[in-house]
Amino acid sequence: MNRNNIWIHITIAAVVVTIAAVLGQINRWEKSLKIGDVRVDVTPAKKASRNHDSAVDVLVRFRPGVSFDRIRQIAARNNDRLDDETESVNGLISLDDMDDADASTVAAQYAAMTDLVSYAEVNGQISFDDPELYSYQNLRDDKGGINSTPNDPDFGQQWALNNTGQDGGKSGADISSLEAWKKTRGSEDVVVAVLDSGVDYEHVDLRTNIWVRPDSVPAYYDDELGEFNDEFGYNGTDQLSDPMDDNGHGTHCAGIIGAEGNNDEGIAGINWNVQIMPLKFLGRGGFGTTADAIKAINYAIDRKKAGVNIRVINASWGSTQNSKALEDVIRAAGDAGILFVAAAGNSGTDNDKRAHYPSNYDLPNVISVAATDRTDALTSFSNFGIKTVHIAAPGRDIESTWLGNAYRDASGTSMAAPQVAGVAALVLSAEPDLTVAQLRNRLLSSVDKLPNLTGKVSSGGRLNAAKALEK
């Protein structure tokens, strides 16, 4: 074969490989569903470096009475590596298959052990929706603007907190923050965890309100994963302990809950004073796994038991995957006294008919949140459901903190959920002894009833902070 023929064969081979790769990527896209607040990849989570050489393949909950030593033996027999034990949920284990077998096959293998296993499921991959769904706008780092009460320069643009009819809005279509602040402006004794892409804890408008592990609380230690330097929270996405946000989404949610108020800087959070705990399980590209979300919630439960006053977790993400393991750990968070506030999703569909998780979990500590606009109308993108969505809150054109001391407007139920989480923390600052059940009932029973929300959310109304504090 002459040299020209060799190059022709090499070129043809390269083209074939490229076409195969493209077809493989197209096939992957076809297996990805854009729903709610995230794009959900229904393929198993990719192998990725963590504290070991591979990512979690399956989540298995063994039956009560099966000892940890017995679980280790079963895993070893199947050539599976025990990645982590979820201490807050008895018998819940994450496993790596060392044979690179199909994750569904591995899950089925464990599920078939009915005398030993309650359930087994694939560790699914989740991520945010495409950025345009959130309508991120108006990136800026200027400090000029409208002066109002509080003295934060951009407070006049925060219609969700004080709607005077600005920019075509409806006066009073807000959460009545000015009235609420006459009673309380938050408390640094209350900790709200933001389960997301991390938080920019160096942001000028957030750094005062970021949780820092006190000296009285020991560093977090996990028997399987080792010790974490959890000075500012938890990072479950890689081997680093630093929960710094490299995406922006978590920082935006954090600012809604607790950007420092009345500091002559940027915006005001619903709580002028609070402690924001970053729980990072989504990476730079917005991708994460069910297992990493579970580990982050498990961390929050551990810190609660260690004396940290975590009362609320905000979860502005979701998928159509019904994970029993995730449900179990959220239930455990409720048992530990933690309210779980979840975005209802952004596909404009009925969650009663097409479930969205974790917002659809029927648990006593879960609140599912739809989104309204500045005229008190349910947004076109917001999911709803008279049985499964509980409350609405402002979620369109919401200004909040962004990476690098910046601020952005964003839209989504991702922005509505932290409104509820923020008001929950505000209520707890005035009444710290409320139980999860009492707090949840307080939020849902104090809404502003709106005709257009009748039949859309179970409470029939939009969040009202002032009324929640009056009860």
Q: What is the dihedral of CA 126, 129, 131, 134, to 10 degrees?
A: -120
459 tagged catalytic: no
Alpha carbon distance 47, 344 (integer Å): 29
Tell me the C-alpha to C-alpha distance, in Å, between residue 266 and each of 204, 245, 285. Answer: 9, 19, 26
154 tagged catalytic: no
Closest of 46, 45, 57, 42 to residue 98, by C-alpha:
57
- Please identify which of the residues 94, 174, 249, 368 carries the catalytic annotation: 249
- Please identify which of the residues 414, 429, 446, 459 carries the catalytic annotation: 414
Helix (H) / strand (E) containing 43: strand 38-44
With tokens 């109308």, the residue in question is: 377
- Please identify which of the residues 97, 196, 302, 373 carries the catalytic annotation: 196
Question: DSSP secondary structure string, 130-186?
Answer: PHHHHT-EEEE----S---SS--TTGGG-TTT--SSGGG--TT-S--HHHHTTT--E
Identify whether the C-beta of residue 154 lies closer than 8 Å to the C-beta of residue 267: yes
Tokens of 390: 């509980």
- Chain centroid to Cα 161, Å, comes to 22
CB atoms within 10 A of CB 138: 13
Identify whether the C-beta of residue 414 lies closer than 8 Å to the C-beta of residue 134: yes
Identify whether the C-beta of residue 405 lies closer than 8 Å to the C-beta of residue 204: yes
Identify whether the C-beta of residue 97 lies closer than 8 Å to the C-beta of residue 75: no
Identify whether the C-beta of residue 158 lies closer than 8 Å to the C-beta of residue 144: no
148 tagged catalytic: no
What are the residues whose beta carbons fall under 8 Å from the beta carbon of 428, sequence distance 6 or more? 187, 190, 311, 312, 434, 439
**Which one-letter amino acid corresponds to residue 140?**
R
Alpha carbon distance 319, 336 (integer Å): 25
What are the residues whose beta carbons fall under 8 Å from the beta carbon of 319, sequence distance 6 or more? 35, 36, 38, 40, 124, 126, 356, 357
Active site residues: 196, 249, 414
